[in-house]
A and B are shown apart, each in its own frame.
Chain A
Amino acid sequence: MSQTSFSPDLTAAVTTVPFQRRTPWWVWAIGAAVVLLLVVAPLVMDIPTNQMLARVGVFAVAVLGLNVIMGYTGQVSLGQIFFLGFGAYVTAYGVQQEWPILLTFVLAIVLPGVAGLIVAFAAARLGGLAIAMVTIALPIIGVPLAKRLSDLTGGSQGISARFSDAPEWSGLADDQWQYYLVLLIAAITFVLVYNLTRGKFGRALAIVRENENVAKAMGISPYRYKVMAFTIAAMIGGVSGFLYMVVVQYTSPETLAFHHSINLLASMVVGGAGSIAGSILGGFYYVFVPNLTNEIAPTLTALIQGIILLVVLFVLPGGLASIPHRIRRMLRSRRADTDSSPSHSK
């Protein structure tokens, strides 16, 4: 499971830079084509498709946040939706108070981050299931809190904030503008996390996930890294909350209900835990599958989603992001077959 193959030198994972092949040209070509496609897409696609893709972006970021703490650091967190909801509320409140949107954006990241930090101080001291329990408490406290602080949150009727309509100068329709806004912010977040998890920090997280004693022996404080990962996950949750408001423009206590956390978790597992591409696929799963099941049979949505989840887990335990890996392994074993037995022509 680990990306670090075990060697007698236990510090190798942190001290040596992982072996990297030269990137073949076609990877760049495909990357450029995808970027081009993502940028051009909203100009030609119809409104509902753009709106759906924008929502995918929102939840891809939310799943990414969860991936940082669960996929990369291996700590069970069932409270991610709380940070999304917190970010959404901060955004809605900021818009209502007519704060500058940049300030609102920063606060929507910082405040959930601070909340995450405070919780992490307590949670990271605990191990395994205890962390899960502490994080469950977040959405469970969050919902009644959002109802009770009705001066700030609008109570159980929620709070609307329309701030993401396309400005005149852009010449774009609302759905296109929102799509680009989500694309830009999500892309930056993904690049940051990508770099974070591939650097020294990411390798330290991997050690903490695999074996805390080994980490300690290497001078990596598991506590510190868990707190940091938790805080970063909360900040990314805040980003997704801001994006949620860009796209949905409304939030209510229902937004941060506990069962959405479970849905996010399912999306992360289906997409692929500890994988950047998996987060994007998780976002697709979160948004696209309910739409799909609604088309098939609106009264059986929960059942069909359950079946899809089970099928994915049985067939692809590593999530959708492990498909290329599976294919490569299949090809390799076939090649090995033919190499080792050239006399048997198939």
Chain B
Amino acid sequence: MIRTTRSGKAIGVLAVGTAVALLATGCSRGGGSGDGGDGGAAASPGITDTTVTLGVTTPLSGGTAGPGNCTVAGLVAYMGAVNDAGGIEFGDGKTRTVEIEAFDDTYDPQKALSNFQQNASDVFAFTSGLGTPTNRAYREAAIADEVPQVLVMTGDPIFSDREESPWQLGFVPIYQNEGAAFGELLAESGEELTVAVLSQNDDYGEGYVEGFKEAIEGSSVEIVKELTYEATDTSVDAQLTELAATDADVFFNAMSITPLVISAIEKTKELAWSPSWFLPSNTSSPTAILGPAGADPAAGFYSVSFSKAPQSPLYAEDEDVKTFLAALQEYSGDYTTTPDFPHCMWSYMVGATLEEAFKNTEEPTREAFMEALRNIEGLQAPLMLEGTEINTTEDGLPAVSTVVVQKYNGKGYDSVEAFG
């Protein structure tokens, strides 16, 4: 501990005061935006006649850094190529290049809000950021300041509710969409199927089950048993034993925890129960989960997706994939040059969606941008699977709400038309 004499304290206080004073220097309060409204709409912050600046607040360090870096990498890759080609011609006739400023929030809600507050005056729109709590943390501030917070990577439905979130739009499918896609596949089969459900006891698991139930309503598909587990559980053996006793045809497993999924696959084999499986998109990785768990493709492992998998041999020669990988190599060195997480592909699609919106932005204002963004229909962004599209016109749904059901083939996934 330091010696605490009064004058020492005073010097300490003086140091703080000086720091405050230094901060105060140069910042004078005055209405920065909104003035100069002579003829036509004044340009919003973050946009000039030649550039537009996008902000991304996302985890670039810490536990979620992997997917977080990907949410910037794909976007930077897409816009890098666009800028090299001259930029985007906006709806007002001016051609602008796109600058991307990334901010690290380490998945901390407080830092995400801080990033928003410190930079909202230089950024035209915030986009592509990953995380439900972080995006939620500045949602209300974005609404209050009328700053777009669009195409964000969260399955939380609130971002796609127009009444609650007038300046927001989610990008990735909400949990319900995924559950519903699989439910529809089962319902369409017309077979009499029994389903055992295991879900995580939170909004994640509930979302999947809700979508699934809605889709199978009135069909010949029947849920015979429904159990839950806690996200903190280290084993679900008890639940699996109980579910195996039903000997259901299908096992709907809304689980978000990688090791639990692996042990669940192994345990069911032990119990001699061999249902068809449904796994959520984020816990269905062929290399990280199904392979290590020794999943038998013959049992039928289903998941959903809307993006092509660059690692899959199926798409090795695909034009989109080749362009994407090359762009990632060339422009995204600061973040990641290999698409380790699907978020890399997703943020690449975000780039394409933003380009489409910018082309239709009639005035250099945030209002005009939001209007253009909410008006995209049937856009097939690069890397999207056939049967999926960007549609921003429907209230309550994120930009991508269609997913394709896929089946594990031992190496990767193939799209399937029918169950069985």
Main secondary structure of the interface of A (DSSP, over half): helix
A55 interface contact, C-beta 8 A: yes
Which B residues contact A (CB, under 8 angstroms)? 1-17, 19-21, 23-24, 27-29, 32, 60-62, 69, 101-104, 106-111, 113-115, 117-121, 132-134, 136-137, 139-141, 144, 156, 158, 201-204, 230-232, 334-335
Which residues from 37 to 53 on chain A have a C-beta closer than 8 Å to any C-beta of chain B? 37-38, 41, 43-49, 51-53
Whole-angstrom CA separation of A150 from B20 in the bound complex: 40
B1, A273: Cβ atoms closer than 8 Å = yes
- Shortest CB–CB separation between residue A216 and chain B, in angstroms? 22
Residue of A nearest to B119 (CB): A48
Q: Min CB distance, A67 to chain B, in Å?
A: 10
Chain B residues near A327 (CB, 8 Å)?
11
| A130 interface residue per 8 A CB criterion | no
Q: Are B106 and A37 in contact (CB under 8 A)?
A: no
A324 at the interface (CB under 8 A from B): yes
Q: How far is the CB of A69 from chain B (nearest CB, A)?
A: 14
Assess whether A156 is in contact with B1, with CB atoms less than 8 Å apart.
no
For A52, the chain B residues whose CB sits under 8 A away are 23, 114, 117-118
What are the interface flags for A218-260 relative to B under an 8 Å C-beta threshold, 1 for contact and 0 otherwise? 0000000000000000000000000010001111111101011
- Convert A253-295 into 0s and 1s, putting 1 for each residue whose CB lies closer than 8 angstroms to a CB of B: 1110101100000000000111111101100100100110110
CB pair A34–B16 under 8 Å, yes or no, is: yes
**Residues of B close to A321: CB separation below 8 A:** 2, 12
> Which residue of chain A has the shortest Cβ distance to B58 in the bound complex?
A298
Q: Contact: A44 with B103, CB < 8 Å?
A: no
Q: Is the CB of B117 within 8 A of A51?
A: yes
| Chain A, residue nearest B204 (CB) | A156
- Given A275-B2, A325-B2, decide whether A298 and B106 contact each other with a Cβ distance below 8 A: no
A-B contact pairs, 23 of them (CB 8 A): A34-B14, A34-B16, A38-B17, A44-B27, A46-B27, A47-B29, A48-B118, A48-B119, A52-B114, A55-B110, A155-B202, A156-B133, A244-B110, A250-B109, A252-B137, A254-B108, A255-B109, A274-B2, A277-B9, A298-B102, A301-B106, A321-B2, A324-B15
Contact assessment for A160 and B29 in the assembled complex, using a CB-CB cutoff below 8 Å: no
- Among B8, B104, B120, the residue within 8 A (CB) of A294 is B104
Kindly provide the distance from the CB of A179 to the nearest chain B CB, expressed in whole angstroms. Answer: 12
Cβ contacts under 8 Å, A158 to chain B: 109, 132-133, 136-137
Contact of B8 with A325 in the complex, beta carbons under 8 Å: yes
> Is the beta-carbon distance between B28 and A44 smaller than 8 angstroms?
yes
In the bound assembly, the distance between CA atoms of A253 and B131 in angstroms comes to 13
Q: Which chain B positions have C-beta within 8 A of A293? A: 104
Q: Which residue from chain B places its CB closest to the CB of A173 in the assembled complex?
A: B29
Task: Please give me the residue from chain A that is nearest to B102 by CB atom.
Answer: A298
Would you call A1 and B1 a contact (CB within 8 A)? yes
Residue on B with the closest CB to A320? B15
B108 touches A27 (CB 8 A): no
Measured between beta carbons, the chain B residues less than 8 angstroms from A20 are 6
Bound complex: CA A199 to CA B127 (Å): 53
A323 cross-chain contacts in B, Cβ below 8 A = 11-12, 15
With CB as the reference atom, state the residue of chain A lying closest to B113. Answer: A248
| Interface pair B20/A272, CB less than 8 Å apart | no
Tell yes or no: A125 within 8 A of B by CB.
no
Contact B1 A3 (CB under 8 A): yes
Are A27 and B7 touching (Cβ within 8 A)?
yes
B109 touching A252 by the CB < 8 A rule?
yes
In A190-214, which residues have CB < 8 Å from any B CB?
A: none
B114 touches A252 (CB 8 A): no
Whether A291 and B118, one on each chain, are in contact in the complex, defined by CB atoms closer than 8 angstroms, is yes
The answer on a CB contact under 8 Å between A248 and B118 is no
Binary contact readout A1-23 vs B (1 if CB under 8 angstroms, 0 otherwise): 11100000000000000001101
New contact pairs (6) apart from A38-B20, A51-B117, CB-CB < 8 Å: A21-B7, A27-B6, A45-B24, A290-B104, A291-B118, A301-B61
Contacts of B104 in A (CB 8 A): 290, 293-294, 298-299, 301
Task: Report the separation of the CA atoms of residues A272 and B16 in the bound assembly, to the nearest whole angstrom.
Answer: 13
In contact, A280 and B114 (Cβ under 8 angstroms): no
A46 touches B23 (CB 8 A): no
| Residues of B with C-beta under 8 A to A33 | 17
A65 at the interface (CB under 8 A from B): no
Residues in B whose Cβ lies below 8 Å from that of A30: 10, 13-14, 17
Looking across the interface, which residue of chain A has its beta carbon closest to that of B232?
A: A144
Closest CB pairs A-B (n = 8): A277-B12, A324-B11, A252-B133, A302-B61, A34-B17, A274-B1, A27-B10, A144-B232
Q: How far is the CA of A23 from the CA of B5 in the complex (A)?
A: 10
- Pairwise interchain contact B136-A160, C-beta atoms closer than 8 A: yes
- B102 partner residues in chain A, CB cutoff 8 A: 298-299
When A162-B140, A298-B104 are in contact, do A21 and B16 touch as well, CB less than 8 Å?
Answer: no
Q: Which of A319-335 contact B (CB under 8 A)?
A: 319-325, 327-328
Which residues of B lie under 8 Å from residue A254 when comparing CB positions?
A: 107-109, 133-134
Nearest-neighbor residue (CB-CB) of B23 within chain A: A49
Q: Which residue of B lies closest to A291 (CB)?
A: B118
Bound: A3/B8 CA distance, A: 13
B-side contacts of A322, CB under 8 Å: 2
Cβ A156 vs Cβ B132 within 8 A: yes
Q: How far is the CA of A108 from the CA of B214 in the complex (A)?
A: 41
Q: A148-B230, A259-B62, A301-B106 given as contacts; is B12 within 8 A of A324 (CB)?
A: yes
Residues of B within 8 A of A299 (CB): 60-61, 69, 102, 104, 334-335
From known contacts A33-B17, A158-B133, A290-B111, infer whether A44 and B8 are also in contact, taking CB-CB under 8 Å.
Answer: no
Contact of A79 with B by CB under 8 A: no
Chain A CB count within 10 A is highest, among B2, B16, B21, B139, for B2
Q: B117 near A144 (CB under 8 angstroms)?
A: no
Cα separation A257 to B107 with both chains bound (whole Å): 10
Whole-angstrom CA separation of A281 from B137 in the bound complex: 25
- Say whether A2 contacts B60, CB under 8 Å: no
CA distance A34 to B24 in the complex (A): 13
Chain A hits for B106, CB < 8 A: 290, 301-302
Bound Cα distance A253, B60 (Å): 20
Compute how far the CA of A38 lies from the CA of B4 in the bound complex, rounded to whole angstroms: 23
Note all chain A residues with C-beta closer than 8 A to B119. 48
A338 at the interface (CB under 8 A from B): no
Q: How far is the CA of A299 from the CA of B335 in the complex (A)?
A: 7
Docked pose: A71 CA to B4 CA in angstroms: 14
Q: Are B62 and A156 in contact (CB under 8 A)?
A: no
With contacts A38-B20, A250-B109 known, is A46 near B5, CB below 8 A? no
Give CA–CA (A287, B115) in the complex, Å. Answer: 11
Q: Find chain A residues with CB under 8 A from B11 CB.
A: 323-324, 327-328
User: What's the least CB distance linking B102 to chain A, in Å?
Assistant: 5
Q: Could you tell me if A250 and B140 are in contact, using CB atoms closer than 8 angstroms? A: yes
Complex CA–CA separation, A44 to B21 (angstroms):
11
* B111: nearest chain-A partner, CB-CB: A290
Once the chains are docked, how many angstroms separate the CA of A236 from the CA of B111?
21
Task: Report the separation of the CA atoms of residues A55 and B110 in the bound assembly, to the nearest whole angstrom.
Answer: 9
